[in-house]
Amino acid sequence: MPLPRSRVPDPLEMLALARALAEHPATAVRAARVSVVRLRRALTRSPRSLFLRELVTQPMAVGAICASSPHLAARMAALVDPASDGLVVELGGGTGVITAALLARGVPPARLVVVEQSERLAAHLRQRFAAVPVLQGDAAELPQLLARLDDERRQLPVLHIVSGLPLLSIPEPSRGRILAAGAAVLAPQGRLLQFTYALRGVSPWQQVGLACLRRERVLANLPPARVDVLGPAPPV
């Protein structure tokens, strides 16, 4: 099957364009500059460009070579019970891929809380999900961050933690503080979901007493990922 040919510009159109440039050069230059500025603004506001900018400026905080795919986000959201009465706390909201999947799953915005360390990404999340509380800060201070919520939300148990944090790339002692903070706020009947690009090995959350209850691979993500479902270890 032959490839479609590009449209050849009409000579009369080219002549008209040349005349316009010759007669109104300043107007043509201003129009071109406005177009470039608008294109640049559109690119810098897109979630993909925002992610890449954060990856360059804060590589250790972002930790991934590309944003989580919709396949991975949907798989994690499917493991959350939207009918539960407690809070769903997302750690590392990023550009909002997992946040959007949780809302599409049916998690009410009033029971979803997103924690994001990057000020720029947090502002993006607030703009994109106006009804969802976005707490800008370090996940290692999770109890203090959740204390900022209103009285009604503070009374709810944390039944789900959905973590997109790159734990394996976060150095100690920061990683240990994040693990301790997450385990401290998770309800006894709660579940913690963590994705990782390490397809083998134990989850770092097991270092703070959480047991791995389920493990799934998401091969459609780039790179392939693993989702661990963890919860408080049952008494012996």
The answer as to whether 4 is a domain residue is no
pLDDT at 63 over 50: no
The residue range of the domain holding 67 is 61-232
Q: In what order do the strands lie in the sheet with 186-196?
A: 134-136, 112-116, 87-91, 158-163, 186-196, 225-232, 210-218
Average pLDDT of every residue of the chain: 83
**Within this chain, do residues 72 and 146 fall inside the same structural domain, yes or no?**
yes
pLDDT at 23: 63
Q: Give the pLDDT confidence of 149-181 residue by residue, as tens digits.
A: 999 999 999 999 999 999 998 999 999 999 999
Q: Give the list of residues 6+ apart from residue 44 with CB closer than 8 angstroms, or none.
A: 50, 53
Q: Model confidence at 27, in pLDDT bands (50, 70, 90)? A: low
The answer as to whether 30 is a domain residue is yes
Return d(Cα 73, Cα 199) in angstroms, integer.
Answer: 17
pLDDT at 44: 52
Q: What pTM does this model have?
A: 0.75
**Within this chain, do residues 132 and 35 fall inside the same structural domain, yes or no?**
no
**Within this chain, do residues 74 and 150 fall inside the same structural domain, yes or no?**
yes
Query: Percent of the chain at pLDDT above 90?
Result: 65
pLDDT at 98: 96
Q: Is residue 42 helix, strand or coil?
A: helix
**Within this chain, do residues 19 and 99 fall inside the same structural domain, yes or no?**
no
167 compared with 13, residue with greater pLDDT: 167
pLDDT at 14: 56
Closest CA to 91 of 54, 120, 129, 61: 61
For range 38-59, the mean pLDDT: 53
Query: What CATH number should be reported for the domain holding residue 158?
Result: 3.40.50.150
192 compared with 20, residue with greater pLDDT: 192
The answer as to whether 217 is a domain residue is yes
The answer as to whether 91 is a domain residue is yes
**Within this chain, do residues 88 and 197 fall inside the same structural domain, yes or no?**
yes
Cβ distance 225 to 196 under 8 Å? Answer: yes
For range 198-220, the mean pLDDT: 95
Q: Give the pLDDT confidence of 73-121 residue by residue, as tens digits.
A: 999 999 999 999 999 999 999 999 999 999 999 999 999 999 999 999 9
pLDDT at 72: 94
pLDDT at 233: 83
**Within this chain, do residues 39 and 67 fall inside the same structural domain, yes or no?**
no
pLDDT at 212 over 60: yes
Q: Model confidence at 222, in pLDDT bands (50, 70, 90)? A: confident
Burial class for 195, CB neighbours closer than 10 Å (0-12, 13-18, 19+):
buried
Q: Model confidence at 1, in pLDDT bands (50, 70, 90)? A: very low
**Within this chain, do residues 40 and 88 fall inside the same structural domain, yes or no?**
no
The answer as to whether 172 is a domain residue is yes
Into how many domains does the chain fold? 2
pLDDT at 223: 86
Angle made by CA atoms 198, 54, 40, in degrees to the nearest 5: 135
Strand partners, 212: 230
Q: Model confidence at 230, in pLDDT bands (50, 70, 90)? A: very high
Strand partners, 12: none
Q: Which helix (H) or strand (E) holds 43?
A: helix 25-45
**Within this chain, do residues 102 and 26 fall inside the same structural domain, yes or no?**
no
For range 214-220, the mean pLDDT: 93
The answer as to whether 5 is a domain residue is no
Closest CA to 167 of 80, 226, 107, 209: 226
Q: Give the per-residue SS3 of 45-109.
A: HCHHHHHHHHHHHCHHHHCCCCCCCHHHHHHHHHCCCCCCCCEEEEECCCCCHHHHHHHHHCCCH
**Within this chain, do residues 119 and 16 fall inside the same structural domain, yes or no?**
no
Instruction: Kindly compute the dihedral angle of the four CA atoms of residues 164, 170, 176, 178, in this order, to the nearest 10 degrees.
Output: -40
The owner of tokens 């440039």 is 21
**Within this chain, do residues 113 and 33 fall inside the same structural domain, yes or no?**
no
**Within this chain, do residues 217 and 112 fall inside the same structural domain, yes or no?**
yes
DSSP 220: T
**Within this chain, do residues 140 and 71 fall inside the same structural domain, yes or no?**
yes
Cβ distance 105 to 80 under 8 Å? Answer: yes
pLDDT at 56 over 70: no
